[in-house]
Amino acid sequence: MQNIEDVKNNLLSQIAASDFPREILKSSELKKLYGAISSMPVEQRGIYGKSINDLKIVLESAVLTKETEAEDLSVEQIDITAPFDVNGGKIGLLSAENGSSHPLTTELENVINIFTRMGFEAIESRQIDDDNHMFGTLNFPDNHPARDGYDTFRTEEGFIPPAHTSTMQNRILKAGKAKLEADGQIAAVSYGRVFRNEDIDATHEHTFYQCEGVFVSSDATLGQMLGTLRSFFEVYYGQKLKIKTQPAYFPFVEPGLEFAIEKPVALGGKPGEWLEMLGCGMIHPNVLRSAGIDPEKYRGFAWGGGIDRLVMLKYGIEDIRHFESGKLAFLRKFV
């Protein structure tokens, strides 16, 4: 029992001094104490086992306290109005570090570069919008259950932080109408942050990024769309890919599809393992009409996909929540 007390005091002081307190729970001293139970006379095991359990509880709570303190230090003590070099030390930045782009910013730039080289104009998506752009012009009937699928937040005034970049489609079509009539096509991507009031897990965030494409001409086809998407994914992942589609319902496209790629072996995939990457389809005539474009003369296709999941696959990131966590250990891997 004296031994348990000694181990406790020793480990508590190690926890207090450590930057990675949870590691201390793997200490060999602790393992020896657990191991000792089997060589003990049966009548002593009950009391000994209870002491070990009490010790575990004390250590676990010391680790939690220490971890919480560390989090508090990194969030509470910075003066956000102070220059970067004033805050750097306080949040654990090394003096040589000047900060770097967030991995989602870097990868969003990569994505936009690929599409602009293909001839698409890039337009940033809004972060606050209205019901008409989020739903109305996208052929969602009033009170239609498909609206519920987007788990939208609303402000008290009734504005919406958009749940998808499709909120930009009507503006892109209206602004492009003159160009369509003059040059024969609209080709644009919109990109930005979107918001959904949904349960968070390893693949679902409440705040994430999307990139959306819109193409209109007199003879646009699904085949052109699939070719465009295949080229994008092959350039982004730097290799040949297998693709497939399956039917999906989005009120603003007809037909609507889900587009999947076979997970590349180089990125840990097994043959036959498919990943859904985005939603897409031929733009619904009502969506063209709501922007004043005649669906008898013009046809279009559109797609929209998540940037976060694209980047997770590229780097083998197992949990989407790392992106918004602000954890330096994660961010440093992308410097």
280 sits near ligand FA5 (criterion: CB under 6 A): yes
Question: Is 298 a binder of ligand FA5 (CB under 6 A)?
Answer: no
Provide the mask over 231-270, with x wherever binding to ligand FA5 is found by CB under 6 A and - wherever it is not.
Answer: -------------------x--x--x--------------
Task: Name which of residues 199 to 228 contact ligand FA5 (CB under 6 A).
Answer: 204-205, 208, 210, 212
Residues near 216 by beta carbon (within 8 Å), at least 6 away in sequence: 173, 176, 180, 185, 186, 283, 288, 293, 298, 299, 300
Q: Is 302 in the site for ligand FA5 (CB under 6 A)?
A: yes
Judged by CB under 6 A, the residue of 164, 193, 299, 322 near ligand FA5 is 164
Q: Which of 277, 274, 282 is nearest to 312 (CA)?
A: 277
* Interaction between residue 168 and ligand FA5 (CB under 6 A): no
- The single residue among 304, 311, 312, 313 that binds ligand FA5, judged by CB under 6 A, is 304
Query: Helical H runs in 18-41?
Result: 28-36
Residue with tokens 């220059």: 83
Question: What's the sign of the alpha-carbon dihedral 125, 130, 133, 135?
Answer: positive
Contact between 71 and ligand FA5 by CB under 6 A: the answer reads no
CB 244 within 8 A of CB 260: yes
> What are φ and ψ of residue 95, in 5° steps?
-65, -25
Choose, by CB under 6 A, the member of 24, 172, 308, 312 that binds ligand FA5: 308
Which one, 109 or 198, has the nearer CB to ligand FA5? 198
Cβ burial, residue 209 (10 Å; 0-12/13-18/19+): buried
Q: How far is CA 279 from the centre of its chain?
A: 16
Question: Among 187, 278, 287, 317, which residue sits at the site for ligand FA5 (rule: CB under 6 A)?
Answer: 278
Strand pairing of 186-195 and 253-262?
Answer: unpaired
What is the nearest approach in angstroms of ligand FA5 to the Cβ of residue 190? 10
177 binds ligand FA5 (CB under 6 A): no
Q: Give the binding site for ligand FA5 (CB under 6 A).
A: 164, 166, 196, 198, 204-205, 208, 210, 212, 250, 253, 256, 276, 278-281, 302-306, 308-309, 320
